[in-house]
Structure 1
Amino acid sequence: MKAIRRFTVRTVLPEPLRPLGELAQNLRWSWHQETRELLQSVDPGGWRAAGGDPVRLLGSVPAQRLAALAEDRRFLRRLTAAAEDLSDYLTNPRWYQSASQGSELPSAIAYFSPEFGITAALPQYSGGLGILAGDHLKAASDLGVPLIGVGLLYRHGYFRQSLSREGWQQEHYPVLDPNELPLTPLCEPGGSPALVTLALPGGRSLRARIWTAQVGRVPLLLLDSDVEENNASEREVTDRLYGGGSEHRLLQEMLLGIGGVRAVRTYCRLTGHPEPEVFHTNEGHAGFLGLERIRELHDGPDALEFDAALEAVRAGTVFTTHTPVPAGIDRFALELIGRHFGDGGELPGVDLDRVLELGRENYPGGDPGVFNMAVMGLRLAQRANGVSTLHGAVSRQMFAGLWPGFDPEEVPIRSITNGVHAPTWVAPEVFRLGAHQVGVQRTEDALAVGGSHSWESVANIPDAAIWEVRRNLREQLVEEVRARLRASWRQRGAGDIELGWTDEVLDPDVLTIGFARRVPSYKRLTLMLRDKERLTRLLLHPQRPVQIVVAGKAHPADDSGKRLVQELVRFADDPRVRHRIVFLPDYGMAMAQRLYPGCDVWLNNPLRPLEACGTSGMKAALNGCLNLSVLDGWWDEWFDGNNGWAIPTADDGSGGPASNEEDGARRDDIEAAALYDLIETQVAPRFYDTDGTGLPRRWIEMVRHTLVTLGPKVLAGRMVRDYVSELYAPAARAHRTVTAEAARDLSAWKARVREQWSRVAIDHVEAGSAGGTVELGSALALRVRVALGGLDPADVDVQVVSGRVDDSDRITDASAVSLKPGGRPDLDGRWLFEGPLELDRSGPFGYTVRVLPAHPLLASAAELGLIAVPAEAEGMTAGVLR
């Protein structure tokens, strides 16, 4: 019989064990080894059965076991120490509280993301974006950054993956009960659930309750539409991560952005948490948060018109783009947006046409009939960034249409390279190796906060100790793989009598390569299969064999990705090679935490430059795994020739997909051959090149070099510190400066500049040489006459832009110097601007001049997308000197 109602009966812990509940509810246990070991010791068998989830564990521990623990003095001492350690962690000042910026730092930051990968016990993530968001929260907690995370609670999470007998991906959607997760409902003072409400067309409403997960010091608010007050269709809005059609996705993103801001306001009202001064949009899915904040200012006590409210909102908003291809961005039909934001929909009183213009692709190459979430995100944020140096360059090129007239290099999108949360991803064995060398506290600080000093001590760890840990981790991975492979084959219909061969799968002494990620086509899961016979020879080499562990999920709607999975699985099923290559279904955090440390080499072969960052290789590197990767994402930035290998690419340096199928196939053939060559001639020989003691000294030296040089760089702590100094602190200063009055003044100034800009023109440029020479170290005296229309000299910045020029007279290393206005306008209303042009570089040299809007509250001279150049200048090539 089926139950008509489901609820969760929670265990009542004996009084001496009450701190266990607090430890289990704060997700710090997921990255704090001592707390995890304490929770595991409550019931080791129950811990395994609960999948390492302490909330589930405590709900299933027998009463007699709890009674015994309540009398166990040794356990109670450990429990008291763990509880005190958590209390110290939550209350003592950390890096942020002593940071040099002091009062310039924001009182709070709201961080919005569609997914968060905190722990496998809270499955609200699908891949890299969610894991990055989870690591961002954890690192912020370790540093004491006052972050509030905001997301959605998906009742089915992302899908669980299994394989059919034929190797076809199958999806399963388990039902998640929030009462069985490490979550707490946010309640009003009377005890009723706190709700946020959105208006839908036709007089309907979308309501969501707010659950909180405590990620160390950071609260994570998750909105859940599965509440009794909603109709059936509204209850399903938060059913699955990245599921449903366009309207379903739109409702999810409205709830995340608009509902998320309302949830933050509710949380701060009920808890006394400081209101955020900075709002960080992690990818475009949450972009509607800016519209809600405009509505707040529009309806507030000091009501602002749309343009002024927009300026106030932009000042304190940060936008991070993770997508290197336009196809990866959410885009909606304008009619759909209009239906939900027009009469009877959300944001009453906010001009619908202005809303539509924020997301419209009204630039060359865009589609003015669609609403682009990333475009809206960029227009609503005064500060934006990509997630690696290369990705920043790709993003500036991709979104250059929003800043017409500017070279892509000047598009105001900077780069902050991603990092990973080392305490989450570093294996306990690697942690203990470092702790033995420099002590527990210094090791914890090195992993959480960064700094190169502690990492340099890795150089003093004996070769034998490093190799013993690496071999131990490889052996653990082999055991994990065999267990998961047996479970997978049972799901595929095999009986135990057929699975004896799995006991011989992989070898703890064989070079192990790992490859695990989502399976879109650009990540090229099957590039390794391009020449199956050559791969087979590498796997079965009599002296230098290779073994490969592969995992990954294709999107449920992506049949081409599923075919790639099936091709890989069918190859791995071949009895000739199945002991050397395996595909593990249901890739997730729990698997990853064994996979990264256990591999010797981490493989990454995307189509360059379509990998925005690729943080899986960072996690592997922190465990002494060497990277074998295309120069894309973070690897393009930090590969140095001694920390792994770079797979040569067949592109011309510009990257991107091939122009046609034939070129794409040729590119795959060339790059696959390069991959095989590297493994055969460099990677495997170095791994198996041992001395008389059996140690591969040159390999160990590469491991040591990887840890010393990459360790401090790839940390999420470094990443979050960069966000604080480069984005959060400037955004907080701008937020405080752009008061209601300042916002009105700024919006009025921008309107005046836009109205007059068509009348701005450079009429004459005169360059006189200094001393009659054009030599290195001399200067040219520039005089530029500019028509400003109805603008004043204070409204503009007249610049001379100079540098070396290429064969087409294009300036390649431009630097800009402002010229000063002199005197009054002439009879034609033109202003004179003067200044020297220093000839500080030899060789072909060129200059041009330009006029940009100038205002102290602009974060970038390109912010308005307005520029005036001489009529003869095309791409800054005027005035070439040779």
Structure 2
Amino acid sequence: MSQQTFSLPYQHPFDPDEQYKKSVVYFSMEFAIDQALKIYSGGLGFLAGSHMRSVYALKQNLVGVGMLWKHGYYDQDRKQDGSMQPAFREKMYAYLVDTKIRFQIPILGKEVWVAAYYLPPDVFQSAPVFLLTTDTDGNDETTRAISYSLYDADVTYKVAQCMVLGIGGARLLEELQYEPQVYHFNEAHAVSAIFHLYNKYKSVDELKKRIVFTTHTPEEAGNEKHDIDFLNNLGFFSGLDLETVRKISGTKDNIFNHSLAALSLSRKANGVSKLHGEVSRNMWKVYPGIAEIDHITNAQNNTYWIDKDFEQARIIGDTDKIAARKKELKKLLFKTVADQCGKIFDPNVLTIVWARRFAAYKRPDMFVWDGNRFEKMMADKEQPVQVIWAGKPYPKDQGAVDTFNHLFYLSHLFPNMAVLTGYELALSKLLKDGSDIWLNTPVVTREASGTSGMTAAMNASLNLSTYDGWICEFAKDGENAFILPVAKGDDINKQDCDNLLDKLETTVIPTYYADQQKWRQMVLNSMNDVNADFNSDRMAREYYEKLY
């Protein structure tokens, strides 16, 4: 029987608020809910984790469905010489509940067993979340391995992972006898569920009533595509004939575009910032019959992220208290710097941090491109700086790994430069608390939203950023942030690098050392401006109002 509330023991711990009674299931490949649950890689997970915490706070009738990754994403270890090395270690979570639910789905011509575990809401004050795994009795080593590592580098395994999330997630809801009013796909990873549901509802109109989609990718090339026969042989389309698949998913040839299928079969979709909404509408407008694309700007859960002393000082506008607390938290961060790098940093020195996923378009090493100017800045004893990098590249992205290691080797030359490993929720929090400047350098229009700067701003760190993603809705240059002008023409990399160093030399560093009153006022403005609009409670409300 279909129903809109779970049977025991998987009930919401509360009666949903009147405004949020509509039942929603939120599918996501990763959730960063707590440091202790390592089933995420980066921004998509941080966003989903904050969303699940706001669901709990607002008493929304929403349930998460994700994956239980045996090795997590990976552990960022070091080689003998200190450079980066991915390690894959088994994770155990005593607080997850084995639902004892087991079912099979066809993948690669095999009937693969899927087991479901449950994260009770009271463990981390989150939405109830079900996590799926193939690492269970009845599967051989090859099928167990589907749920070993998030974003497996092998394309067959990665698609199989998407099928476990999508088809497996839809099957789990049937096992629970739970039929939500809304299926929300956070990115296109779970799009295989749509074909399973089409078999059930037999009509595109019935599907569209129930499905909504969030896209996070601001360029067409970044959306996953695969050969339609390859997917069909894996079992991706739940037995539907390819003519039907092409017809309903907007596929004109043999290349299946996962995001296009999600947009073709959703009643509504959203980008994740105002700018990204515009970019997405422009990008997809050539395809007839796709869902309307609105925008709901990403946000982070300030209850989880904000230091309580900062928040108390912000509310009463006490900039002295904020500055004093910042020094305390810098000392705490610098213990990790000393531990990992053998360097003693000074809490009185301007501290710049670049920390997020290492990817080419985010340009992690832009700060060092002009070696002479970088060296001069690092050697300045009158107005000194300290710089910290952290972040995980995809383990198979050799270019990004090389960039990380290049920065690490370069750091040997400077006692005031550190490159940290282990960028997960806990280190992220330390870096936001302990930074004065949060550096953000993506190529403009390529960062759909970005959220790391939000949690930095919540914790009295000023954003120094290119004008992209959420920053366009937040930043007022010289009032609550430092913004680089948008580069034009052929060599945007050189322009952005020059503009970054100019901004540091002429504005950021002199303000910190010569005009602390202005600096403190900017920090307070930044904390106030980020507080309401970029708290995930606002985002979670908007998902109900605009999407569900």
Task: Give the TM-score, by structure 2 length.
Answer: 0.93
Following the alignment from structure 1 to structure 2, what is the Cα–Cα distance between the partners of residues 412 and 527?
37
Q: 1:395-449: CA deviations, max 9, x gaps?
A: 1122122139xxxxx9821111000011221124324545xxxxxxxxxxxxxxx
Q: Match of 1:401, SS?
A: coil
Match of 1:226 among 132, 135, 141: 135
Deviation at 1:584, TM superposition (A): 0.2
Greater alpha carbon shift after TM alignment, 618-627 vs 531-540: 531-540
Following the alignment from structure 1 to structure 2, what is the Cα–Cα distance between the partners of residues 668 and 167?
29
Q: 1:319-368: CA deviations, max 9, x gaps?
A: 00001123322221111122234xxx8634x3332124444643xxxxx3
Q: Which amino acid aligns with 2:101?
A: A
Deviation at 1:168, TM superposition (A): 4.1
Following the alignment from structure 2 to structure 1, what is the Cα–Cα distance between the partners of residues 454 and 155?
34
Q: Which amino acid aligns with 1:325?
A: E
Q: 1:835-869: CA deviations, max 9, x gaps?
A: xxxxxxxxxxxxxxxxxxxxxxxxxxxxxxxxxxx
Deviation at 1:667, TM superposition (A): 2.2
The yes-or-no answer on 1:352 pairing with 2:242 is: yes
CA contact (8 A) 2:105 2:111 kept: yes
Determine the structure 2 residue equivalent to 1:332: 226
Q: Which amino acid aligns with 1:185?
A: D
Following the alignment from structure 1 to structure 2, what is the Cα–Cα distance between the partners of residues 672 and 165?
33
Match of 1:558 among 394, 397, 416: 397
Q: Match of 1:525, SS?
A: coil
Write the mapping of 1:610-649 to structure 2, written as runs, cut at 5 A: 610-641=446-477, 642-649=479-486
Match of 2:324 among 465, 468, 473: 468
Deviation at 1:146, TM superposition (A): 1.1
Larger Rg computed on CA atoms: 1
Q: Match of 2:449, SS?
A: coil
Determine the structure 2 residue equivalent to 1:176: 91
Deviation at 1:197, TM superposition (A): 1.4
Q: 1:540-589: CA deviations, max 9, x gaps?
A: 22221111111012212111111111221111111xx1x21110012111
The yes-or-no answer on 1:675 pairing with 2:500 is: yes
Q: Match of 1:194, SS?
A: strand
Match of 1:126 among 25, 30, 41: 41
Q: Match of 1:402, SS?
A: coil
Following the alignment from structure 1 to structure 2, what is the Cα–Cα distance between the partners of residues 614 and 469?
26
Deviation at 1:469, TM superposition (A): 1.3
Determine the structure 1 residue equivalent to 2:102: 195
Deviation at 1:276, TM superposition (A): 1.2
Following the alignment from structure 1 to structure 2, what is the Cα–Cα distance between the partners of residues 242 and 674?
35
Match of 1:650 among 465, 487, 493: 487
Following the alignment from structure 2 to structure 1, what is the Cα–Cα distance between the partners of residues 81 and 487?
34
Following the alignment from structure 2 to structure 1, what is the Cα–Cα distance between the partners of residues 291 and 206?
21
Following the alignment from structure 2 to structure 1, what is the Cα–Cα distance between the partners of residues 476 and 144?
51
Determine the structure 1 residue equivalent to 2:59: 144
The yes-or-no answer on 1:699 pairing with 2:519 is: yes
Write the mapping of 1:560-639 to structure 2, written as runs, cut at 5 A: 560-574=399-413, 577=414, 579-639=415-475
Q: 1:499-544: CA deviations, max 9, x gaps?
A: xxx2x52111001111111111000011011112211222222221
> Percent identity between the aligned chains?
31
Q: Match of 1:236, SS?
A: helix
| Structure with bigger RCO (C-alpha 8 Å, 6+ apart) | 2
Determine the structure 1 residue equivalent to 2:380: 541
Determine the structure 1 residue equivalent to 2:189: 285
Following the alignment from structure 1 to structure 2, what is the Cα–Cα distance between the partners of residues 629 and 401?
32
Greater alpha carbon shift after TM alignment, 555-564 vs 395-404: 395-404
CA contact (8 A) 1:608 1:632 kept: yes
Match of 1:511 among 324, 332, 350: 350
Following the alignment from structure 1 to structure 2, what is the Cα–Cα distance between the partners of residues 554 and 432?
36
The yes-or-no answer on 1:97 pairing with 2:14 is: no
Following the alignment from structure 2 to structure 1, what is the Cα–Cα distance between the partners of residues 485 and 350?
22
CA contact (8 A) 1:261 1:293 kept: yes
Determine the structure 2 residue equivalent to 1:398: 283
Alignment CA distance shift 1:468-1:565 (3 Å): same
Task: Give the TM-score, by structure 1 length.
Answer: 0.58
Following the alignment from structure 1 to structure 2, what is the Cα–Cα distance between the partners of residues 522 and 472?
34
The yes-or-no answer on 1:480 pairing with 2:326 is: no
CA contact (8 A) 2:65 2:130 kept: yes
Greater alpha carbon shift after TM alignment, 245-254 vs 148-157: 245-254
Following the alignment from structure 1 to structure 2, what is the Cα–Cα distance between the partners of residues 224 and 206?
10
CA contact (8 A) 1:212 1:222 kept: yes
Determine the structure 1 residue equivalent to 2:8: none
The yes-or-no answer on 1:422 pairing with 2:302 is: yes
Determine the structure 1 residue equivalent to 2:179: 275
Q: Match of 1:130, SS?
A: helix
Determine the structure 2 residue equivalent to 1:413: 293
Q: Which runs of 5+ in 2 are unaligned?
A: 1-11
Alignment CA distance shift 1:610-1:648 (3 Å): same
Q: 1:158-213: CA deviations, max 9, x gaps?
A: 11112335564311001123xx3421011xxxxxx2112112454x2011110001
CA contact (8 A) 2:299 2:454 kept: yes
Q: Match of 1:261, SS?
A: helix
CA contact (8 A) 2:151 2:158 kept: yes
The yes-or-no answer on 1:235 pairing with 2:144 is: yes
Following the alignment from structure 1 to structure 2, what is the Cα–Cα distance between the partners of residues 200 and 411?
29
Q: Which runs of 5+ in 1 are unaligned?
A: 1-88, 100-104, 187-192, 298-305, 363-367, 405-409, 435-457, 486-501, 653-662, 691-695, 729-882
CA contact (8 A) 1:106 1:278 kept: no
Deviation at 1:715, TM superposition (A): 0.5
Q: 1:749-798: CA deviations, max 9, x gaps?
A: xxxxxxxxxxxxxxxxxxxxxxxxxxxxxxxxxxxxxxxxxxxxxxxxxx
CA contact (8 A) 1:167 1:565 kept: no
Q: Which amino acid aligns with 1:97?
A: D
Determine the structure 2 residue equivalent to 1:723: 543
Following the alignment from structure 2 to structure 1, what is the Cα–Cα distance between the partners of residues 443 and 130?
36
Following the alignment from structure 2 to structure 1, what is the Cα–Cα distance between the partners of residues 318 and 83?
46
Q: Match of 1:505, SS?
A: coil
Alignment CA distance shift 1:340-1:106 (3 Å): farther
Following the alignment from structure 2 to structure 1, what is the Cα–Cα distance between the partners of residues 158 and 486?
36
Determine the structure 2 residue equivalent to 1:212: 118
The yes-or-no answer on 1:370 pairing with 2:255 is: yes
